Amino acid sequence: MKFHVLPDSVREVPSPDSFTYPFSYEPHPLSIAAASEVRSYVESQSQWSEELSQGKMLGVLVVEKKGERGFLAAFSGTLGGKTLQEYFVPPVFDLMCPRCYFQEEQERISELNRRINGLEVQMQPSPLHLVAEQEIEEARKKMTEAKFRRHQLRITLSAEELEEKEPEMIRESQFLKAQLKRIESSWKKRLEEADHPLLVLQAEVKRLQAERQQRSQDLQQWLFSQYVFLNARGERKTLAEIFPSGQIPSGAGDCCAPKLLQAAYLEGMRPLCMAEFWMGASPKDEVRLEGNYYPACRSKCRPILGHMLQGLSVDPNPLLQGHQELESRLEILWQDCQIAVVAKPSGMLSVPGLDDLPSVFSAMKSRFPDAEGPLIVHRLDMDTSGVMVVALTPEAYGSLQRQFLRHEIKKKYLAWLECPMVSGQEGDISLPLRPDLADRPRQLVDQEHGKSAITHYLVLENRKGHALVALWPQTGRTHQLRVHCAHPLGLNNPIVGDRLYGKPAERLMLHAQEVEFTHPTDGKAMKFVLPIEF
């Protein structure tokens, strides 16, 4: 691991008063300078060029050591097929350490896999099964044919002839049934003997599979105990202690932020600020854009960093700042005894979240204390402004829900995109979406498991290097418009201020401008337009 000196260009830049809040931040100038140094270094390493061109998350941590400022660098996962590279901090625990217990036990598990696969190849049923099936089937066929002949005789013979023939027919039926049982019994004994070697193999495979499962579980628990994370107070916690439920996400502890903080604590360095950034192409399923800075992931890193940041003075969560006045800014555009139409400001939740922030729901409950039902018929993202329809009765809620399900409610959005586009260009974007279970609330494009998501768009104009587009969602998936704009298979042009899929700014430049629906009780067509000046 190397302590890297910051460039002279930021020598006079003051250090921040508190450490970066890693889940929503604008990178400090010192972090930006450090990231530039890392980019220059990795771009000079030709052996990584192909891997980096396919996309990699890198991170920097600006630190102070004995009065001197510098930075540490990290990569997520592996680089060049290794967990250790000279320029970067080491992993919290090195899975790839040669001849360590993890590698040795992995080899034992791999050997079990090879033995199981080899035995399964040998697990072929005896060819006698086919012979037995043919002989038994032939006996059944004879029984069926004899039964049919007896049936025909009972139809065609006279009563006297049938009385004379009946004992013989009964004896034939009894004989054929007994013969089938003898054949089945004989084959059962022969097949049991023939299948004995197969049963021995099956028992051995079952035993090996149980051993493999136990070894894998034991190794996983051992591994969790090896990931020991420090914090600024010198306190230590393992993955198992950080995730007491036992539901530990794959790859937890191998992201940039935990690596960087761990290295700083071990070396007695004081963390000042940090940033994580993407290099290379965006993955097919998610939006990661070259050069953009990204927050730490939530499912893996939030619990870990919740421990590791203890003892540091950390910036407040910017998403929690300045929200108390939002309820007063929520404007009611129209109301009657059934519904209300409101103008939601950017930064306000539609429904209550984990942090007990003001929401449209809480505001409407306050203003309409006697209103019944779920109230919120549809949602806008926290950062999106615009017009929303609220139900004040269960009947209104049910009616509006049915209209949404039948795609009878029409919505139009306006968005400023980061780059200019051809004015007048229009079309449809169809990219199915699903939640990123490892990093909620981000969404992924998933052609196999995603839900259909369709957006119609029209480029209205270009101004100051940005394109203004109108967007008509045909479906209502979470972050649909944001992903469809930012994804390389969509417009490949993020919305200005999109901190999840583009670059942070003062606000997300996405506005729900229009909504059209039918009134729940009188059937009247209603349309509301909420102009905006971004």
- Residues with a known catalytic role: 381
CA–CA dist 117, 520 (Å, integer)? 63
Containing H/E element for 455?
strand 454-463
- Residues with Cβ within 8 Å of residue 222, at least 6 apart in sequence: 101, 102, 105
Q: Which of 316, 318, 294 is nearest to 439 (CA)?
A: 294
Q: Which of 529, 19, 14 is nearest to 271 (CA)?
A: 19
**How many residues are there in the chain?**
534
* 402 token code pair: 């049915």
Which residues lie across from 458 on neighbouring strands?
A: 426, 470
CA–CA dist 19, 309 (Å, integer)? 9
Question: Is 265 buried (19+), middle (13-18) or exposed (0-12) by CB count in 10 A?
Answer: buried
Pairing state of beta strands 331-335 and 293-294?
unpaired
CA–CA dist 426, 468 (Å, integer)? 12
CB atoms within 10 A of CB 74: 30
Question: Is 17 buried (19+), middle (13-18) or exposed (0-12) by CB count in 10 A?
Answer: exposed
Q: Phi and psi dihedrals of 343, rounded to 5?
A: -105, 105
* Per-residue buried b or exposed e for 291-311, using 16+ beta carbons within 10 Å of the residue's own CB: ebbbbbbbebbebbbebbbee
